[in-house]
Structure 1
């Protein structure tokens, strides 16, 4: 496949010849990498944000692997710094509703102050290209979710995976951005209407919750009277400055382990205080979103 220069001078994969394709849309590893680097997002954090991006592998090193056993107490499967990441994909989708859920327990109580803060300088630009939907998805990982202001501890949990998805056309040019918010409240913007810097998408990160938004402002959530706050006044962070990594090459990809301690409300089917599952083909591109606006 050839690589062409786009109008702003960066390399973007050109559409491959038909005889190069084994599917309607297909990019080789080098073309996927070039595309992911070309559209690396720019994040704006709220000035009151306290938990920033972290390399997921660091979180794994700072965690134990445990299994919930109701009244008998959690069982430790692997100790601190001893989790075999390449075995995590053996934990399948059934873990979401299992009686004995397996989860990563971030040992912040053993590791000292500041371990929940994240580490922007060692974070990664994690991406996934999906040929079935011809989309490019970026994943953002945080060591801790503090919930939007006003919720108290209702949504606080260890570990937090967020994402946005860029829809591409048949020439691998962006036509839409879908921003991941919680509980099915994803937001869409056409590429022409999406905020950009140097032709790359801008994401305004909800304070504490880390939900992704296309504009700063106050955004409704599923909790009446409690809204996410996004701002352009805090830290600006450019993921183009970080290593670009295909998340499918990460050893943990495809696992349905909970990235964070299992919350007490999980027993009643409420997962807001439990760590989420991470990147997998089941938790891949965002395919549904609405063009809603802030309050």
Structure 2
């Protein structure tokens, strides 16, 4: 054992913790020299628990705590410490539970496609500030057992989500090829009067130059075509899939990206007014949203899923997901903003007290089967499409002033609600932004972690 495992008690026992074995002559594992009792609960509760920190010898690190139901110190043979050069720093992960203490999971501090630290599956007691470590996979060929193209597609089809859009959704996804083929334009700074039509495969898009503001994409200039393209084209929509090793090759992350030609305006809830349209506030051309499936390389099980939500997102344990057609989960996209979620409902972003920007998730007959229409665009051995290397913005910087748009609506409200609405201006700009977004490959989570 390298440490103990903890989880909330409101779900079936699940999860994992790593154990290790070694050739004793290598001296990579060794017993602790002692234990320090760092916390125990009230024995009168009838469920005594004692949390012990292993004290490692010089040159070794502890990777987890030991939990007992007795005040007697555990045997030194109960656990192993690991030689320091096989360990890496950790940081607090998800909150697990609280009962006199806060218990959090641990994860490696350095994570990403090329990072070799491995999560052990242990936990930490926050109020003790215990410095525990993770493992390092020191095998230089730890990704050599990568999946073939056909295996990648088979794994994805086994878990591929069904994407449900809100019944009142006006701005649906489309394939990148459909966006380009229907008149998307490439603009260059200083030459705005002479935009270039993008080729269907994006072959004429410039590469490199991320963040230089020199180029951007926009909808077709002609009004009729512009209106047709901005609403998307669900029959053409594709899921763009990216495979990458994570956590030292112990897991594979499968990122699933959807492209929306347009992000709709923000809708607010203000007191008893359930749905208040805020003019153009929140609108912008181009919207990339994604989920990430974390699949265990030990047994192929879907561990958890990350749902992107505007500028952030959240990990959801696979046991909380809604499934249909076997192991395929449901991905809800919020109305207008397309933030992802694992269940239907409403979430308000804003100052609170019943005031905020609505994120509405609901099931409808507007649904996309990601397993039926997808393309693996990035993985070892996969040729990437030309458009994936376009690093500039997928939409122009919008010209409207969010504060002005909100003030127009505010005039129609009674005095008490006017003040409540003022606090949403900053939230709208932070959540939606006015810049066209960059593409998937430019985002930090493309090669890093979520």
Bin the TM-score by the shorter chain: 0.7 to 0.9
Q: Is residue 309 of structure 2 the alignment partner of residue 178 of structure 1?
A: no
Give the Cα separation in 2 of the matches to 1:273 and 1:279.
18
Q: Is the 8 A contact 2:162 2:369 kept in 1?
A: yes
Q: For 1:1-295, list aligned pairs within 5 A.
A: 22-23=142-143, 26-61=146-181, 62-69=183-190, 74=192, 76=194, 79-82=196-199, 85-86=202-203, 88=205, 90-93=207-210, 95=211, 98=212, 100-107=213-220, 109-110=222-223, 111=225, 113-133=227-247, 134-150=252-268, 151-171=278-298, 172-184=300-312, 186-197=313-324, 198-221=326-349, 225-242=356-373, 244-248=374-378, 249-264=384-399, 272-280=433-441, 282-283=443-444, 284=446, 287-288=449-450
Shift of 1:137: 0.8
Normalising by structure 1, we get a TM-score of 0.77
Give the Cα separation in 2 of the matches to 1:157 and 1:213.
21
Cα 1:81–1:90 change in 2 (3 A) is: closer
Q: Is the 8 A contact 1:54 1:123 kept in 2?
A: yes
Give the Cα separation in 1 of the matches to 2:309 and 2:231.
21
Normalising by structure 2, we get a TM-score of 0.52
Higher alpha-carbon Rg: 2
1:12 is aligned to none
Runs of 4+ that moved beyond 6 A: none
Corresponding residue pairs, total = 257
Shift of 1:227: 2.1
Q: Is the 8 A contact 1:217 1:231 kept in 2?
A: yes
Q: Is the 8 A contact 2:201 2:387 kept in 1?
A: no
Give the Cα separation in 2 of the matches to 1:246 and 1:236.
21
RMSD: 2.8
Q: Is the 8 A contact 1:66 1:104 kept in 2?
A: yes
SS in 1 for 2:185: strand
Cα 1:24–1:196 change in 2 (3 A) is: farther
Shift of 1:135: 0.3
Q: Identify which of structures 1 and 2 has the higher relative contact order when contacts are C-alpha pairs closer than 8 Å and 6+ apart.
A: 1
Give the Cα separation in 2 of the matches to 1:43 and 1:103.
28
Q: Which has the higher strand share?
A: 2
Q: How big is each residue's C-alpha offset from its partner over 1:104-140, in whole Å with a ceiling of 9 and x where there is no partner?
A: 1111535264322211111112211012452001001
SS in 2 for 1:90: coil
Shift of 1:285: 6.8
Q: Is the 8 A contact 2:178 2:200 kept in 1?
A: no
Cα 1:247–1:220 change in 2 (3 A) is: farther
Give the Cα separation in 1 of the matches to 2:318 and 2:329.
9
Give the Cα separation in 2 of the matches to 1:135 and 1:228.
26
**Which stretch of structure 1 is more off in the superposition, 174-183 or 271-280?**
271-280
1:8 is aligned to none
Cα 1:225–1:25 change in 2 (3 A) is: farther
Q: Is the 8 A contact 1:147 1:207 kept in 2?
A: no
Shift of 1:278: 1.2
